[in-house]
């Protein structure tokens, strides 16, 4: 295979349907950019599945190649910060949204989107984390800045079997935090305990519909991936001066809550936006992931697929059945 001819997952609109096919494209079809990267690994995120099925809030123009995460090797560069042969990571920004993404064996992107692969991580390991891991680690970073330590008390993680949730459980447990994992999949309790959770609860236990403005204080901090009433319940039950991070909306994008958790308990709500995370913080987080926050990426946590075998995983994540992380292998043998 030459750089002029590469394989990708191309999503095209045909009548009222969006069709996904593995096709070959020319590198000349890629947009202008500073750095051409040969992609070896990507990963599957909910945003990728939305892009792959024609969601206009994610991708406006088709045909399109999704993939908001990519790890590979610099092929060509007109920026002195990156040399051919250098291993790099590219996640977030517009990659895979309206810029051809990591489900292609080549991407061309601005140099400002790229992070050198840190020592301690392989390309494949970096995609076990990807945007999900960056988001989970950013949440932990916010907790640490807020003063939450392993001895502070229980940390609730909602949506714990998903990409962000499972990595948050594993990283927090790795650092000695007492983690309570909430999930709607009771059959995955063993999976979460093996990741390091101290306890597993059904999501109904953290989804209080009673309407009270405050609930009994329990959590020192919360990493919420669900939004909606689960996020509202978390805020109502977080202890005085605690913190809740918010990074998802799988339950709902709406938040119906009074100001009482904030003005009577001093609870902090911190949004996590990994897509536009400033590069200094992004680099810092990746160094943490490669070092003291690195987890054991077991087979139980990671499923590996190729472009040709990715379709069932897209359907699984769309229907809320994904567990752990899916790594996409683009190396052509």
Alpha-helix runs per DSSP H in 162-267: 163-174, 189-195, 228-236, 260-263
**Which pLDDT band holds residue 1 (cuts at 50, 70, 90)?**
very low
Helix locations, the chain, DSSP H: 46-52, 123-145, 163-174, 189-195, 228-236, 260-263, 279-290, 311-318
Please report the pLDDT score of residue 314 as a whole number: 97
| pLDDT confidence bin for 296, thresholds 50/70/90 | confident
What is the reported pLDDT for 332? 84
Segment 3-11 mean pLDDT: 89
Question: Residue 228: what pLDDT?
Answer: 97
Q: Note the pLDDT of residue 23.
A: 96
Domains by residue range for the chain, with CATH? 5-117+301-329 (3.90.180.10), 131-271 (3.40.50.720)
**Average model confidence (pLDDT) across the chain:** 95
pLDDT, residue 3, reads: 55
Report the first-to-last Cα separation within the chain, whole angstroms: 10
Rounded percentage of the chain residues whose pLDDT exceeds 90: 92
183 exposure class (CB count in 10 Å sphere: 0-12, 13-18, 19+):
buried
Render pLDDT for 217-269 as a digit per residue (tens, 0 to 9): 999 999 999 999 999 999 999 999 999 999 998 899 999 999 999 999 999 99
Tell me the average pLDDT across 288-292. Answer: 97
- At residue 2 the predicted structure's pLDDT band, cuts being 50, 70 and 90, is very low
pLDDT at 216: 97
Q: Is the pLDDT of residue 144 over 50?
A: yes
Q: Which of 293, 198, 213, 265 is nearest to 244 (CA)?
A: 265
Residue 215 CA, distance from chain mean position: 30
Per-residue confidence (pLDDT) for residue 299, from 0 to 100: 74
pLDDT at 298: 73
Sheet holding 178-183, edge to edge: 199-202, 178-183, 154-157, 219-224, 238-246, 268-271
What tens digit of pLDDT does each residue of 71-130 get?
999 999 999 999 999 999 999 999 999 999 999 999 999 999 999 999 999 999 999 999
Tens-place pLDDT, residues 171-213: 999 999 999 999 999 999 999 999 999 999 999 999 999 989 9
**CA neighbor of 104 nearest in space, from 36, 34, 14:** 36
- Give residue 300's pLDDT band: very low, low, confident or very high (50, 70, 90): confident
pLDDT at residue 320 in the model: 86
With 90 as the cut, is the pLDDT of residue 45 above it? Answer: yes
């Amino acid at each position: 295979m030459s750089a002029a001819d590469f394989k990708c997952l191309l999503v095209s609109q045909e009548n009222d349907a969006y069709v996904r096919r593995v096709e070959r494209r020319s590198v000349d079809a890629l947009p202008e950019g500073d750095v051409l990267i040969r992609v070896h690994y990507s990963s599957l995120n909910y945003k990728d599945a939305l892009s792959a099925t024609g969601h206009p809030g994610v991708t406006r123009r088709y045909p399109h190649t999704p993939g908001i995460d990519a790890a590979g090797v610099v092929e060509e560069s007109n920026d002195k910060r990156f040399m051919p042969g250098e291993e790099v990571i590219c996640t977030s920004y517009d990659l895979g949204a309206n810029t051809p993404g990591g489900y292609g064996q080549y991407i061309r992107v601005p140099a400002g989107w790229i992070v050198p692969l840190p020592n301690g991580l392989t390309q494949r390991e970096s995609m076990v984390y990807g945007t999900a891991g960056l988001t989970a680690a950013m949440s932990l970073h916010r907790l640490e800045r807020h003063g939450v330590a392993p001895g502070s008390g229980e940390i609730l993680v909602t949506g714990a079997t998903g990409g962000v949730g499972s990595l948050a459980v594993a990283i927090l447990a790795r650092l000695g935090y007492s983690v309570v994992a909430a999930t709607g999949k009771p059959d995955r309790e063993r999976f979460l305990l093996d990741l390091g959770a101290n306890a597993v609860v059904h999501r109904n236990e953290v989804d209080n519909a009673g309407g009270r403005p405050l609930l009994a204080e329990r959590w020192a901090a919360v990493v919420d991936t669900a939004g909606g009433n689960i996020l509202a319940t978390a805020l109502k039950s977080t202890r005085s001066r605690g913190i809740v991070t918010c990074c998802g909306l799988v339950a709902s994008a709406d938040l119906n809550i009074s100001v009482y958790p904030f003005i009577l308990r001093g609870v902090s709500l911190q949004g996590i936006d990994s897509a536009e995370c400033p590069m200094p913080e992004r680099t810092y987080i990746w160094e943490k992931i490669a070092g003291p926050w690195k987890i054991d990426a077991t087979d139980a946590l990671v499923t590996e697929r190729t472009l040709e075998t990715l379709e069932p995983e897209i359907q699984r994540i769309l229907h809320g059945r994904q567990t752990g992380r899916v790594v996409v292998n683009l190396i052509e043998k």
